[in-house]
């Protein structure tokens, strides 16, 4: 009978290489984490590990430039539906003979927001008290950027033309233009500008806190 003995040196060597491999993999994971930790809690942990903190230029010109880069900030989209009538009549003959009438079921959108390119340095005030930096910003007025009709979801509901006149090819396009005005008026009446302003203030407030300001006032 032959007895085999395993060398203790071989076992120790294997453990050392396993430890070295785990060390290399751990370091690689830390590098990947630090590279991708750019915001929130991961960024805070990364700064504790590296001993570095993020610094931002929070002077008035720098803040104005950062906000202006957002340009036409679209903060609200209203989807609207309406029924619009267009018609043409004769001053002499009844509609049965010379009238033209169309009913459109119209679907459209209105987009509101704030044109931040209009922000001026005098609209920004930065103060510092006991190391706490505060900022007050007056945003440009909100506005209705555009109202459009969704042609894919807009259809002719009814059309009637007098027996003595041909179909007016311009009546539908004129009715669509009328519908666009009605949609715009409905969005304004429903408070789209107030909503756009509120959402813009929330967006800019979040941005300014991310730049390190302790107190933010956006109006």
Rounded CA separation 218/134 (Å): 11
Task: Give the tens place of pLDDT for each residue, 63-118.
Answer: 888 888 888 999 999 898 888 888 777 777 776 776 788 888 999 999 999 999 99
Give the residue among 107, 187, 185 at the shortest CA–CA distance from 150: 107
Residue 10, Cβ neighbours under 10 Å: how many? 8
* CB atoms closer than 10 angstroms to residue 165: 15
* Over residues 44-66, mean pLDDT: 64
Q: Is residue 21 predicted with pLDDT exceeding 80? A: no
For the chain, how big is the Rg over CA atoms in Å? 33
Output the average pLDDT for the chain: 79
The token pair that represents 46 in the structure block: 């990364």
Residue 193, pLDDT > 60, answer: yes
Provide the whole-model pTM.
0.65
CA dist., res. 43 & res. 157, Å (int)? 57
- Across the range 138-146, mean pLDDT stands at 95
Segment 142-156 mean pLDDT? 90
Q: In this predicted model, what pLDDT tens digit does every residue of 199-213 receive, in sequence order?
A: 999 999 999 998 888
The residue among 172, 2, 155, 5 whose CA lies nearest residue 83 is 155
More confident: 8 or 137: 137
User: In angstroms, how far apart are the furthest CA atoms of the chain?
Assistant: 128
> With contact defined as beta carbons under 8 Å apart, do 161 and 96 qualify?
no
The answer to whether 120 and 192 have CB atoms below 8 angstroms apart is: no
Confidence band for 168, pLDDT divided at 50, 70 and 90 = confident
Distance CA 140, CA 124 (A): 11
Alpha helices in 37-163 (DSSP H): 40-50, 60-68, 95-98
The DSSP output letter for 163 is T
Q: Quick one: pLDDT at residue 217?
A: 93
The pLDDT value recorded for residue 189 is: 93
Nearest-angstrom CA–CA distance, 66 and 208: 10
Residues near 107 by beta carbon (within 8 Å), at least 6 away in sequence = 79, 80, 81, 149, 150, 153, 154
């Amino acid at each position: 009978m032959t007895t085999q003995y395993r060398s203790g040196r071989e076992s120790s060597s294997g453990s050392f290489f396993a430890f070295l491999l785990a060390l290399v993999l751990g370091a690689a994971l830390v590098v990947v984490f630090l590279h991708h930790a750019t915001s929130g809690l991961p960024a805070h942990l990364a700064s504790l590990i590296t001993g570095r903190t993020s610094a931002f230029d929070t002077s008035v010109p720098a803040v104005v430039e950062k906000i202006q880069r957002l340009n036409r900030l679209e903060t609200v989209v209203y989807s609207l539906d309406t029924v619009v009538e267009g018609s043409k009549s004769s001053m002499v003959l009844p509609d049965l003979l010379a009238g033209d009438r169309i009913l459109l079921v119209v679907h459209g959108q209105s987009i509101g927001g704030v044109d931040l390119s209009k922000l001026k340095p005098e609209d920004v005030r930065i103060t510092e008290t006991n190391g706490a930096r505060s900022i007050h910003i007056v945003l440009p007025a909100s506005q209705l950027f555009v109202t459009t009709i969704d042609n894919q979801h807009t259809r002719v509901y009814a059309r009637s033309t007098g027996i003595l006149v041909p179909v007016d090819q311009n009546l539908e396009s004129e009715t669509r233009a009328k519908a666009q005005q009605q949609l715009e008026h409905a969005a304004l009446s429903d408070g789209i500008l107030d909503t756009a302003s509120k959402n813009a203030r929330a967006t800019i407030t979040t941005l300014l806190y991310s730049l390190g300001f302790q107190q933010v006032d956006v109006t």
